[in-house]
Amino acid sequence: MPLRSGFWGILTFAVLSLWPAATVAQSSENTARIGVLAFRGAEAAQVKWSSLAEYLADSVAGWRFKIVPITLVSAMEKVKSKQIDFLITNPGHFVVLAADQPLSALATRERFVPGEPAGVLTFGTVIFTRKASGIRTFGDLKGKRIAAVSPDAFGGFQIAWNELRRQNMDPFTDLETIRFMGFPQDSIVTSVASGQVDAGVVRSGLLESLDAEGLISIGDFEILHSKSQPEYPFLVTGHLYPEWPFLALPWIDKKLREDVTLALLGTQQPSIPGQYGLEDLWSAPLSYESVQQLVTAFQARTSPISTQPAWVPSNVTLAAFAMGVFLTAIFAWIFLLTSRKSTRQSTAGSSGADTADNLEMTETRVKFESLTRREREVLSLICSGKASKTIADELGISPKTVEFHRANLLQKTESGTTARLVQLATRLALTKGFP
């Protein structure tokens, strides 16, 4: 009996000793991950948004929050694999993602501006050049080289595309080159300053931030259409759009979603920003209808073009052409089946999620590797941001033939849009060609 009592006493002591550790382990699992579009790089995103994570942790009982820097390319993958629970991104990116995932806008970012009586709920784009470039108007950009983030970047390209379109200019045909440089946007400013390109596109407010950090002198640059928004506190080209939304992913618990919403709106209390060092407040979500309209127009411009019999070579009969297409499809089908079998065998020991992702990317790579040599040349030039006319001149072919190759690229890779084509090629590291 004493032995039994001693055993249960030891067991009870052990359980009680481990109880706090078990409680801590359980609470540590209550971590909500906030994906943040890192337009100035991952490190800068961590620094900027860590204070918001701290504030939310103090405001939402039982939860801690982790900042996860993302890019335009990685965002959809992280959403689909549930690697993030909330998302802070530009409104154009929100519209694109929302077409595939039911995202909820909990609040709209309100930028704090020193010396201003109220925060700023809108933003825009900046098209800028060097002071000595001789470029003063949109018309002066024709035939010039311009740097931007990506075809998918809202403030970093799509708004600028729309502003140029309003002035009867098409960046894809009227510019010599569009160099898509990705993040951070700081590198775009550096490229303009060094003369590597003639002009650049960044989101509004960035030039002021770089100037305040002592990295540039804002007086060295010329802003096109800079007086378009006289009441706006930052340099801007053209129209303004609602600021970035704070989004909840569809699997978030109702109570957590509501608690986070209340906490975000709580940043309007005068004492909160100073207490936590917040650079931004959060307001009730604005309408993103104007963003939807712009993104829809942009997608229509970059959608697959209609291919007609006119692009079939005149010295090839329609029957022979059709037979060639048929045989190509047969060989591609056999190659795809072989690649899938090989992929399944090589990934048999992987986890389910990793295997599915690897298989998808392997199949995507197979599609790109089925391209002809000429299609690969055109793809490389498209990824460098060059317009069809420029591509035609460089390859010694007609613009009509370039459009034919563009259509084939979209069809063979199942990209759907030029923006998606560039995105996939970038992810597969094929923007400069094939090994």
Pairing state of beta strands 145-148 and 199-203? parallel
User: Among 408, 332, 339, which residue's Cα sits nearest to residue 370?
Assistant: 332
11 within a domain of the structure (yes/no): no
According to DSSP, residue 316 is labeled: S
Q: Give the model's confidence band at 84: pLDDT under 50 very low, under 70 low, under 90 confident, else very high.
A: very high
Share of the chain above pLDDT 90, in %: 50
Mean pLDDT of 67-89: 93
Give the 3-state secondary structure percentages of the chain, helix then strand then coil, rounded to 5: 55, 15, 30
Q: What CATH number did the domain enclosing 186 receive? A: 3.40.190.10
Amino acid 382: pLDDT = 85
User: Do 283 and 315 share a domain, yes or no?
Assistant: no
User: Do 293 and 383 share a domain, yes or no?
Assistant: no
Last residue of a domain, one of 185, 212, 237: 237
Beta bridge pairs of residue 123: 241
Q: What CATH number did the domain enclosing 356 receive? A: 1.10.10.10
User: Among 149, 225, 219, which residue's Cα sits nearest to residue 188?
Assistant: 149
104 — phi, psi (to 5°)? -115, 125
Least trusted range by pLDDT, from 306-320, 322-336, 373-387, 421-435: 306-320
Amino acid 18: pLDDT = 36
Contact yes or no for 133/203 (Cβ under 8 A): no
How many domains are contained in the chain?
Answer: 3
Mean pLDDT of 137-142: 94
User: Do 58 and 94 share a domain, yes or no?
Assistant: yes
Q: Give the model's confidence band at 334: pLDDT under 50 very low, under 70 low, under 90 confident, else very high.
A: low
Is pLDDT larger for residue 70 or for residue 365? 70
pLDDT tens per residue across span 151-184:
889 999 999 999 999 999 999 889 998 998 888 8
2 within a domain of the structure (yes/no): no
Mean pLDDT of 8-24: 36
288 within a domain of the structure (yes/no): yes
Last residue of a domain, one of 237, 262, 280: 237
According to DSSP, residue 286 is labeled: P
User: Do 175 and 256 share a domain, yes or no?
Assistant: no
User: Among 99, 80, 95, which residue's Cα sits nearest to residue 35?
Assistant: 80
14 — phi, psi (to 5°)? -65, -45
Q: How many residues does the chain have?
A: 435
Please tell me the number of Cα atoms within 13 Å of 5 on its side-chain side: 2
Is pLDDT larger for residue 298 or for residue 420? 298
User: Do 314 and 227 share a domain, yes or no?
Assistant: no
Is the pLDDT at 10 greater than 50, yes or no?
no
Is pLDDT larger for residue 183 or for residue 340? 183
Amino acid 432: pLDDT = 60
According to DSSP, residue 417 is labeled: S
Amino acid 226: pLDDT = 84
Tokens of 372: 């002809």
Amino acid 117: pLDDT = 66
User: Do 273 and 195 share a domain, yes or no?
Assistant: no
Q: Give the model's confidence band at 229: pLDDT under 50 very low, under 70 low, under 90 confident, else very high.
A: confident
User: Do 254 and 107 share a domain, yes or no?
Assistant: yes
Least trusted range by pLDDT, from 57-71, 184-198, 403-417: 403-417
Amino acid 418: pLDDT = 78
Q: Give the model's confidence band at 326: pLDDT under 50 very low, under 70 low, under 90 confident, else very high.
A: low
Contact yes or no for 82/50 (Cβ under 8 A): no
Q: Give the model's confidence band at 360: pLDDT under 50 very low, under 70 low, under 90 confident, else very high.
A: low
Q: Is the pTM of this model over 0.75?
A: no
Q: Which residues of 127-166 are buried (b: 16+ CB within 10 A; e: fewer)?
A: bbbbeebebeebeebeebbbbbbbbbbbbbbbbbbbbbee
Concatenated DSSP letters of 214-270 = TS--GGGEEETTTTS-TT-SS--EEEEEE-PEEEE-TTS-HHHHHHHHHHHHGGGST
Least trusted range by pLDDT, from 153-157, 274-278, 316-320, 411-415: 316-320
Last residue of a domain, one of 189, 209, 237: 237
Q: Which residues of 426-435 are buried (b: 16+ CB within 10 A; e: fewer)?
A: bbeebeeeee
434 within a domain of the structure (yes/no): no
Q: Give the model's confidence band at 121: pLDDT under 50 very low, under 70 low, under 90 confident, else very high.
A: very high
User: Do 110 and 250 share a domain, yes or no?
Assistant: yes
User: Do 131 and 87 share a domain, yes or no?
Assistant: no
User: Among 138, 142, 111, which residue's Cα sits nearest to residue 127?
Assistant: 138
70 within a domain of the structure (yes/no): yes
For the stretch 28-31, contacts whose Cβ atoms lie closer than 8 Å and that sit 24 or more positions apart, written own/partner, are: 28/64, 30/62, 30/63, 30/64, 31/63, 31/64, 31/65, 31/66
369 within a domain of the structure (yes/no): yes
User: Do 265 and 374 share a domain, yes or no?
Assistant: no
432 within a domain of the structure (yes/no): no
297 — phi, psi (to 5°)? -65, -40
* Residue 213, domain extent: 123-237
Mean pLDDT of 12-36: 53
Contact yes or no for 149/184 (Cβ under 8 A): no
Give all strands of the β-sheet with 86-88 in edge-to-edge order: 64-70, 31-37, 86-88, 245-248, 104-111, 280-283
403 within a domain of the structure (yes/no): yes
Amino acid 112: pLDDT = 83
Is the pLDDT at 147 greater than 60, yes or no?
yes
Amino acid 422: pLDDT = 82
Q: Give the model's confidence band at 67: pLDDT under 50 very low, under 70 low, under 90 confident, else very high.
A: very high
Q: Give the model's confidence band at 124: pLDDT under 50 very low, under 70 low, under 90 confident, else very high.
A: very high
User: Do 378 and 398 share a domain, yes or no?
Assistant: yes
Q: Give the model's confidence band at 227: pLDDT under 50 very low, under 70 low, under 90 confident, else very high.
A: confident
pLDDT tens per residue across span 257-291:
999 999 999 999 999 999 999 989 999 999 999 99
CA–CA gap between residue 65 and residue 34 (Å, rounded): 7
Q: Give the model's confidence band at 8: pLDDT under 50 very low, under 70 low, under 90 confident, else very high.
A: very low
Let me know the angle formed at the C-alpha of 186 by 92 and 111, rounded to the nearest 5 degrees.
55
Amino acid 52: pLDDT = 97
Contact yes or no for 282/107 (Cβ under 8 A): yes
User: Do 113 and 257 share a domain, yes or no?
Assistant: yes
Is pLDDT larger for residue 322 or for residue 408? 408
CA–CA gap between residue 309 and residue 313 (Å, rounded): 9
Contact yes or no for 278/52 (Cβ under 8 A): yes
